[in-house]
Structure formats: structure tokens, C-alpha cells
Structure 1
Amino acid sequence: MLNENAVKTLIDRGLEERSDLFLIDLKIGVGNKISVVIDGDNGVTVEDCMFMSRAIEHNLDREEDDFSLDVASAGATSPLVNKRQYKKNIGRTLNVKAKSDAKFEGVLTEVDDDEVTLEWKAKEPKPVGKGKIVVNKQAKIKYDDILEAKVIIKF
């Protein structure tokens, strides 16, 4: 059985060479099936996946441990799991579920080390009289409070 730490070390070496890429997930399953999911500050190309695949495959000995390797990019509908993913999605609409069961849908406008800021428009009753007015809303959500966040793809 392959050692996950050894594979992670190979991935880290590759990421040192390509600082625009980062690891989202690593799994080693039955039969030494290695599954790696990466993302990048500017997206991920097929060449990026090939680079990471080579960084791993060329440094493992098939004579010692036979394995299969799959390197993929994080899908467009996959939840955001890394702070760097939020930064690259500034200006896009997110759907965020908070641990408090609150749900937010808005444009990601700011990202820092502790939290994200979403902004959206909502209709609310007028302070005086009948009818509704459109107001700008904002929510600052700490990373620790985010249960799930997904980019909303609009066509």
C-alpha cells in the first residue's frame, strides 16, 4: 500500500514549482488508486493536470507499488474548500450555507484571512407608506461559519 505522506510530499514538491496551483483533495483507495484534485489561481488546464501527474508518477516506483493515478481539476459546481478559491471567485455569485442554518446568495465582493463579504439587492417594505423599495444588503461571513459555498453558474 502506498504511503499517503510520501505521495503528499511529491505533490508539495510539484506545487513548489507551480505556486499558482494548490491541492484540494488527495485520496489513496483500494488497489493504490491515487486521486488528486487541484485548483489554480487562474483556473486549471489539461497541461496543469499533466504536470502534476508527472510530478507524482515519475517519482514512484511501479516495481515496488503498482498504482493508478487520476489528477483532475476541481469542478465548476464543486464546493469551495480552500481560501484561495474564494479569492479567485471575487465578482462571482455564491450560494453560502452557514453553520447557523442561514443561507446567503450574493456577489462575493471581498475576501480576507478571516471572512468573506457577500452583497446583494433585496426588496423591503418602505419605511413610510405602501410598497417596497430595493435596498443593498451585505453579509460578512467567517470561514469557520461556512458549512458549504458554491459558485452559481449563470447561463
Structure 2
Amino acid sequence: MGFREKVADLVNGFLAEREDLFLIETKISPSQDITVVLDGDNGVTIQDCLDASRAIEFNLDREEEDFSLQVMSAGLSEPLVTPRQFRKNIEREIEVWLNNDEEIKGELAAVSETDFTLILRYRRPKIVGKGKEDVVEERKISYNDIKKALVVVKF
């Protein structure tokens, strides 16, 4: 078993014991720098990162492979990439950039394995008469149609 496969097995073994956490990404550089990015249904604590780091590091032999390991949580500025990440952010405002360069901002209302639904709220000119009217519209978007999706952070 190669180094990459062994790291993947250790990460998957840890996540099998912690069903509230899920993997976003594992990167291994040519110089054996391992980066594991986790997310969780209820967030990721420092202790979660320590536990994952120990589960990986203590089962790799530094005599066989020289490596560095970094385990971290997906930050607020990181894009949403999995349906599970979208699901945990239901009722939050997200900003989505589509493949056709359209930019949409709305409240995440529903999530499935293939797409998600945003509630868009905006004002537009009235169809009849003068002035503007408030519009609430639902828009279903396929994961295949997006370049990037980010949670909108409000202070």
C-alpha cells in the first residue's frame, strides 16, 4: 500500500468513527506535506482537528516516510463543495457564481444530492404602472452549473 492510500485509509477510518464530521479535501504534496480539510454538521472544533491529526500521525511511521501534517476546518471563506455542506447552511444567505458568469445571492432553502434551491428577494420595476415591486422567487440550481458558492458572512 502506497503512502497516499495509507493516509486516505487513516482519514476514512477516523471519519467512520465520527459521523458528524466529513472530509472536504485531502492534499499531499510531492514533499509529503499532508493537508486534511474537515467540516462537520455542527462545525469543527480544535479538539476534532487534534483527534484527526492523532489518528493519522500516530499510525504513520516517520522512519518510512518523512511528512508534515496539517488538519484544519473549512473556514468561512472556503467555498461550499459538497451537498452536506450546503445542507448544514440551509436558511443562510449564500452567494453563487454560475458557469455562465451570472452572480446570484439568496437564502438557501432546500438541498438535494443533485441541486439546491435559493429564495431570491429583490425589487424590480412594476410590470404595470410606475414604481417598483418586491419580488420573492425560488430558483433551483444544479451543482454542475456553479463555479463557486460562498456563505455570506454578516457582522
Match of 1:48 in 2: 48
- The total of aligned residue pairs comes to 154
For 2:129 and 2:77, the matched residues in 1 are separated by 43
Percentage of pairs with the same residue:
49
SS of the residue 1:56 aligns to: helix
**TM-score for the superposition, normalised by structure 2:** 0.95
Structure 1 gap ranges (5+): none
1:70 and 2:70 aligned = yes
1:7 and 2:24 aligned = no
Paired AA for residue 102 in structure 1 = E
1:147 and 2:147 aligned = yes
For 2:5 and 2:80, the matched residues in 1 are separated by 24
Q: How does 1:94-109 map to 2 (within 5 A)?
A: 94-109=94-109
Match of 1:128 in 2: 128
Post-superposition offset of 1:29: 1.7
SS of the residue 2:14 aligns to: helix
Structure 2 gap ranges (5+): none
Moved segments of 4+, more than 2 Å: none
> Considering only aligned residues, what root-mean-square deviation do their CA atoms show, in Å?
1.1
Post-superposition offset of 1:31: 3.0
**TM-score for the superposition, normalised by structure 1:** 0.95
Post-superposition offset of 1:100: 2.1
For 2:44 and 2:154, the matched residues in 1 are separated by 20
1:103-154 residue CA offsets vs partner (Å, 9 max, x unmatched)? 1100001111111111121111222211011111221001111110000101
